[in-house]
Each structure stands twice: as C-alpha cells, then as structure tokens.
A and B are shown apart, each in its own frame.
Chain A
Amino acid sequence: MNRGALSPFAQTVLPILGAGSLILAWQFLLPLAGVPAYIVPTPTAIAGVFARNGSLLLSNLWPTAIEALSGFVLGNLAAVLLAIVFVHSRTLQAAYFPVVLFFNTIPVLALAPVVILIFGLGMLPKIVIAAVICFFPTLINMIRGLESASPSEHELFRVLSATRWEIFWRLRLPRALPMLFASLRIASATAVIGAIVGEWIGSDKGLGSLIIQATFNYQSDRLYAAIVLSSLLSIGFFMTVVAAERWSVRYR
C-alpha cells in the first residue's frame, strides 16, 4: 500500500471508479454467478423501472418525503425546545430527563403499531414516528451543546452583566450549533427510516408501501428501485443539512 497523500484529482476520481467497478461487477458478475434476477436484478433492470414507471415512483416518493421532512422538523424542534428548558431548569431536568431516557429504550418498531392505533392510517402517524426517531439524539446533543461553553466564557458574560436571554442567544446557542448539526445529519437519514417503517405497518401509498407491495408481488426490480429512491431521498436531506451547516457554522 502506498501511504502518501493523494492528489485532488485522484481524490475525486477514485470514489467514482470504486463505485463504478462495484456496479459493473453487479451488472455482469452476479448473473454469471447464477444469482437469479428475482433476488438481485441488474442495475440496468432497476434503471428500466425508473424509465417505465417514473410517475408511479414519483407519486410514492412525495408522501414519504413530506412525512420524513415534517417528522424531521417536528422531532428536532421539540428536542431543541426541551433541551433549552432542561438547561435552564435543573428541577425540570431532574424530574423529567429519566422519563425521557426510559421512553428512548422502547424500540420505535414496537411503538409504531401504537402510534397507528392512536393516529389512524393517514400521514400523521408516519410523521409522528419519524419525529420520535429524530427526537432523542438531538435532545442529548443539544443539551450537551448548550452546556459546552467554557467556565471562563460564562464568567466573561457575567462580568458584562449579560442577561440569561443574551447568554442564550450570544453564547449557548452558537456554541451548541456544531453539536446540533452533528445530530441533524444523523436525523436526516433516520427520519426517512421512520417514515418508511410507518408506511410498512399501514399505508397504501409512499415508498414503504411500495416496498411491501413489490415484495409480495415478486417485482424485485420495482423493490430495488424503491430502495434506491429511499436512499436518494436520505442523501437529499443529508446534503441540505450539510449546506445549512456550512452556511451557519463558518468558523473552522
């Protein structure tokens, strides 16, 4: 192995070559090895689904995207607000943080049927599941982020007789942003997982229900196309979060 630094050109081209080689192996080696198309269809077959059934895929993408995005916004907003309450009130944190910890130990998959029972079969239960799945990591990271200002930074603000409000806006919140974005990046993928899991349990539209239908109907190429689309949706959310982070955390 050569251990020297790679040129920028190599750094751009090598990942493309790496992914390309795997796709080529998938396209040509897997059928040669005797893997049947109903288990793993070739990349071209999957691309064919996008060409033939584009409108079907798109009509199932939108519900999932809306559910994931709404859940992402609601779950993270609730987590951020609760973190702000917790860091400003030791009493409330001591009283309710253990309860939150307990709820986090319940697997989301086990919770999903209950959520469907409560909220029915529309989009709302999927939004709730996506929100629940985003909530906890952001709560933990946001509390740590809001507490991450150093003792001398707090002393500086106290010497200046800053109010709690000013300490929050000008010190705690900016200090918390890098940690908030770390959890938002994770949440961008888990929100999509939450929406899809919700659709599995009860829905007739969305990528989750498309995955279930395609599986039961042995439409493997359609199943794989739905998986690829779910992944693209996550990547889209992830890139948006990264762009927002670049814009708001400009130092370092």
Chain B
Amino acid sequence: MAAPAIETSGLDVGYPGRHSPVTVISGLELTVEAGTFLSILGPSGCGKSTFLRVVADLLAPLAGTIRVMGETPSAVRSGRGVGFVFQESTLLPWRTARENVRLPIQVGRRSLSRMIDDRADELLELVGLSALSERLPHQLSGGQRQRLAIARALLGEPRLLLMDEPFGALDEITRDRLNDELLNLWRRTGTTVLFVTHSIAEAVYLGQRVIVLAAHPGRIVADHDLRPLKGPDNRCSREDPAIVAAMARMRSALGAAS
C-alpha cells in the first residue's frame, strides 16, 4: 500500500503575522489516499488556499505535522513532485504559449530539470491548444490561458496537482467545459488532485471526496465520500438526483457552520 498523498496531524495553518502568527486552521486531521480527486470547499477566509500553500511548501506550518506522499513538503517540492495552478493563470506575458508550458524545464536545479522530458507539444495537444502554441498570453481567452496553466503544471508529471480556484474567474459555460477536460486529464494521468473552490456545484461535480471547511476558526465541518455515487471513474451528471442531494447536504453543512 502506497503512502497516503496527504497525512496531517494536529496541523496549524496560518500566516506569520507582524507580531504573532495568525492561525487560520488549527488542529487539522486529514488523510488523503493517493490518486484521489479531492475537492476542498469553503467560504473565503476558511484557510483552504493557505492549506494548499502549506502542502506546496510555499508556507511553513505553524504547528503539527504534515507528510506529502510520505515525505516532507519541502522534499516533495524540490523533487518536483507538485504542480500548482493558481487562480490567475500566472503566465509570463513575454513568452509564447509553448514557452510558458516549457518553463518548468528551464528553471530549478539543472539535474532535476533534465529529468523531465520536453512533453510541451504533447501537453498542448492534450489541452487543445496546439494550433495556438506561438501565441502570446494576451492573444488567448481566459479559458485558454487557464488550460495553458494546467498544461504547464502537468509538464513535470507531478504526483500531486494543487489547484487554487483555477476556474473562479471564468464564465460558467467555459468553467463547465474545463471541469470535464480536467476530469479527463485526471483519468489519464492518475495524479492526486487537491482542488480548492468556493462553488458547491463544482466541488461535487469534480470530487471523489469533498471536504467542507468553515471559517473563524477554519475547520472541517463535513467530509463526503462521493465514490458510491460516481463509480470508480468518477463520472456523474449534474442533474442526477443523488448528486443534487449531495449538493444540498453540503449547502446545509456550510449553513450550519456559519
């Protein structure tokens, strides 16, 4: 049995404040099996993005322990084990689409970068942007830019993909389409995905498992396993009564907590 993708114990998450640290989530106990598509749902201020930053080793935990695939977050980051997709696409405007996807093999320790194959063209194909590979980011639509950011995050074949409200700024039609594309990518790659969102519908549609966080203090108020509803390949219809009922349960969990 492989090590869990995430294992935390008594984890305090927050920011090093000006005088004393500001704790956002305290005493987090969470175990995520490898290969899971986990949705993290919660209102703004509940610490869901902060937690993602601790997993990515962008922020040190304030207390407690966290293991990512059996290792420390910093070991996983420096071994290129994680891909991160931000809310803004964070593409470098002076680079073409293709050169943006290739960024991960151009920075970082040389030995590490050499280990990664240049799969840029393959990934551009996978996200449907082959024809636009020489465009600059400002010549692409919001959805295309976010697809590009996902392709870039997948370039190093990360074992863990962290997504911080990646489709939050997109219109609903584009968001629905990208949700389906993301699920297809997940099925093909088999990576663990931690997907942060404040949309109940998105969390339920994407996740095999949904954890619901509440704010002040940040804590887990509900933890739903949706695999019985969705089957092993994590497919569902947005209109399925069982799915609609799951959304209603999460809405009431959020309501009861606030």
Which A residues are within 8 Å of any B CB, using their own CB?
Answer: 150, 152-153, 155-163, 166-167, 170-171, 174, 249-252
Asked if A251 contacts B94 (CB within 8 A), the reply is yes
Question: Complex formed: what's the CA distance from A162 to B53 in Å?
Answer: 17
Asked if B109 contacts A251 (CB within 8 A), the reply is no
Asked if B94 contacts A250 (CB within 8 A), the reply is yes
Q: Does B90 contact A (CB under 8 A)?
A: yes
Partner of A252, one of B80, B82, B86, B93: B93
Asked if B94 contacts A161 (CB within 8 A), the reply is no
Q: Does B38 contact A (CB under 8 A)?
A: no
Contacts of A171 in B (CB 8 A): 92
Question: Complex formed: what's the CA distance from A66 to B112 in Å?
Answer: 48
Contacts of B107 in A (CB 8 A): 157, 160-163, 166-167, 170
Asked if B58 contacts A155 (CB within 8 A), the reply is yes
Can you name 8 extra interface pairs (CB under 8 A) apart from A166-B106, A170-B92?
A: A152-B87, A152-B88, A155-B53, A155-B56, A162-B107, A166-B108, A174-B94, A252-B93
Question: Complex formed: what's the CA distance from A157 to B86 in Å?
Answer: 12
Contacts of A250 in B (CB 8 A): 94, 136
Question: Complex formed: what's the CA distance from A158 to B90 in Å?
Answer: 13
Q: Does B104 contact A (CB under 8 A)?
A: yes
Q: Does B77 contact A (CB under 8 A)?
A: yes
- Residue of B77, B82, B107 with highest tally of chain A CB at under 10 A: B107
Residues of chain B in range 54-84 having any CB-CB distance to chain A below 8 Å:
56-58, 77-78, 80, 82-84
Partner of A156, one of B53, B86, B137: B86
Asked if B90 contacts A150 (CB within 8 A), the reply is yes
- CB proximity of A225 to chain B, nearest CB, Å: 43
- CB proximity of B226 to chain A, nearest CB, Å: 28
Question: Complex formed: what's the CA distance from A163 to B78 in Å?
Answer: 11
- CB proximity of B232 to chain A, nearest CB, Å: 30
Asked if B93 contacts A251 (CB within 8 A), the reply is yes
A251 with B77, Cβ < 8 A, contacts A150-B88, A152-B86 known: no
Asked if B90 contacts A156 (CB within 8 A), the reply is yes
Contacts of B109 in A (CB 8 A): 161, 163
Asked if A161 contacts B58 (CB within 8 A), the reply is no
Residues of chain B in range 75-127 having any CB-CB distance to chain A below 8 Å:
77-78, 80, 82-84, 86-88, 90, 92-94, 103-104, 106-109, 112
- CB proximity of B155 to chain A, nearest CB, Å: 10
Q: Does B227 contact A (CB under 8 A)?
A: no
Q: Does B187 contact A (CB under 8 A)?
A: no
Question: Complex formed: what's the CA distance from A249 to B93 in Å?
Answer: 10
Contacts of B251 in A (CB 8 A): none
Q: Does B216 contact A (CB under 8 A)?
A: no
Q: Considering the complex of A and B, which 6 residue pairs feature the smallest CB-CB distances, nearest first? A: A162-B107, A161-B108, A166-B107, A152-B86, A159-B84, A251-B93
Partner of B78, one of A156, A161, A170: A161
Partner of B106, one of A156, A170, A174: A170
Q: Does B138 contact A (CB under 8 A)?
A: yes
Contacts of B77 in A (CB 8 A): 158-159, 161
Asked if A155 contacts B103 (CB within 8 A), the reply is no
Asked if A155 contacts B84 (CB within 8 A), the reply is yes
Contacts of B87 in A (CB 8 A): 152
A166 (CB) vs chain B CBs: closest residue: B107
Asked if A152 contacts B90 (CB within 8 A), the reply is yes
Question: Complex formed: what's the CA distance from A166 to B109 in Å?
Answer: 10
- CB proximity of B103 to chain A, nearest CB, Å: 7
Question: Complex formed: what's the CA distance from A71 to B92 in Å?
Answer: 33
- CB proximity of B71 to chain A, nearest CB, Å: 14
Contacts of A170 in B (CB 8 A): 92, 103, 106-107
Q: List 27 A-B contacts (CB under 8 A).
A: A150-B88, A150-B90, A152-B86, A153-B92, A155-B53, A155-B56, A156-B90, A158-B57, A159-B58, A159-B82, A159-B84, A161-B78, A161-B107, A161-B108, A161-B112, A162-B107, A163-B108, A163-B109, A166-B108, A167-B107, A170-B107, A171-B92, A174-B94, A249-B94, A251-B93, A251-B138, A252-B93
